[in-house]
């Protein structure tokens, strides 16, 4: 029974059992009692650390993932083509937000599919670059989902039609720029956080 203590290891954080103890332990579960509220995590290894997926299961999982990404990408491409073909659909700001969200999710799918063959990116520059692109794509998708939520709030709660100057430019800066800054700062601090380490 442990929790993540951010003050350990010169403020880098580490696992601590302070204030926590095992109340009950069985083969199927463990009950912990702690005398504080903090960041808790549940770590599970159902099959044991030595067990690995069989080659057949790995192949099935890979195929299912590729099919899911292909279906998702096809839907996203269909939506983007529809928006590009019909100019009237692109006039309002919610549609522009949706177009950017579709592009971000498509980027996530493409990087995920290429990562499904990690033997091409074992180490070095390509591996780090690919990991950075995946990090950026995921952050951009999350940012555009957040922008969509804010826009819905403005539409449904702030009912009166309010005009914001350079709205599209501002949301594009937030949706594409903020993730870029986060990835750039992360890479500048420690580029080695991107890529494979110890078989991961």
pLDDT at residue 9 in the model: 87
CA distances from 138 to 78, 104, 172, 180 (A): 21, 8, 16, 11
pLDDT at residue 200 in the model: 46
CATH code of domain 55-193:
1.20.1070.10
pLDDT at residue 185 in the model: 95
Domain boundaries, the chain: 3-34, 55-193
Checking DSSP bridges between strand 30-34 and strand 20-25, what pairing results, if any?
antiparallel
Q: Which residues contact 138 (CB under 8 A, 6 or more apart)?
A: 108
Checking DSSP bridges between strand 20-25 and strand 3-5, what pairing results, if any?
unpaired
CA distances from 173 to 19, 116, 180, 183 (A): 45, 30, 10, 15
Q: Which residues of 113-125 are buried (b: 16+ CB within 10 A; e: fewer)?
A: eebeeeeebeeee
Q: Which helix (H) or strand (E) holds 162?
A: none
> How large a percentage of the chain has pLDDT more than 70?
83
Range among 88-97, 100-109, 125-134, 148-157 with highest mean pLDDT value: 100-109
pLDDT at 179 over 90: yes
Beta-bridge partner residues of 109: none
Q: Which residues contact 170 (CB under 8 A, 6 or more apart)?
A: 164
Helix, strand, coil share of the chain (percent; to 5): 60, 10, 30
pLDDT at residue 5 in the model: 83
Does this model's pTM top 0.85? Answer: no
pLDDT at 63 over 50: yes
Looking at per-residue confidence, does 97 or 35 come out higher?
97
Tell me the per-residue pLDDT of 124-151, one tens digit each, with 9 for 90 and over.
778 888 889 999 999 999 999 999 999 8
């Amino acid at each position: 029974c442990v929790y993540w203590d951010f003050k350990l290891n010169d403020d880098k954080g580490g696992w601590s059992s302070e204030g926590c103890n095992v109340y009950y332990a069985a083969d199927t579960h463990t009950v912990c009692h702690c005398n504080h509220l903090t960041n808790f995590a549940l770590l599970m290894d159902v099959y044991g650390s030595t067990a690995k997926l069989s080659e057949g299961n790995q192949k099935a999982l890979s195929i299912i993932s590729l099919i899911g990404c292909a279906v998702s990408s096809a839907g996203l491409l269909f939506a983007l083509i529809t928006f590009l073909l019909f100019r009237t659909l692109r006039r309002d700001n919610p549609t522009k937000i949706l177009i950017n969200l579709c592009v971000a999710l498509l980027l996530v799918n493409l990087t995920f599919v290429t990562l499904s063959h990690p033997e091409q990116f074992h180490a070095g520059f390509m591996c780090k670059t690919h990991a950075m692109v995946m990090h950026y794509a995921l952050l951009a998708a999350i940012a555009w989902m957040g922008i969509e939520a804010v826009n819905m709030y403005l539409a449904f709660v702030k009912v009166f039609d309010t005009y914001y100057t350079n709205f599209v430019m501002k949301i594009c800066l937030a949706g594409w720029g903020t993730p870029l800054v986060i990835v750039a700062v992360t890479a500048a601090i420690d580029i080695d956080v991107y890529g494979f380490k110890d078989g991961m």
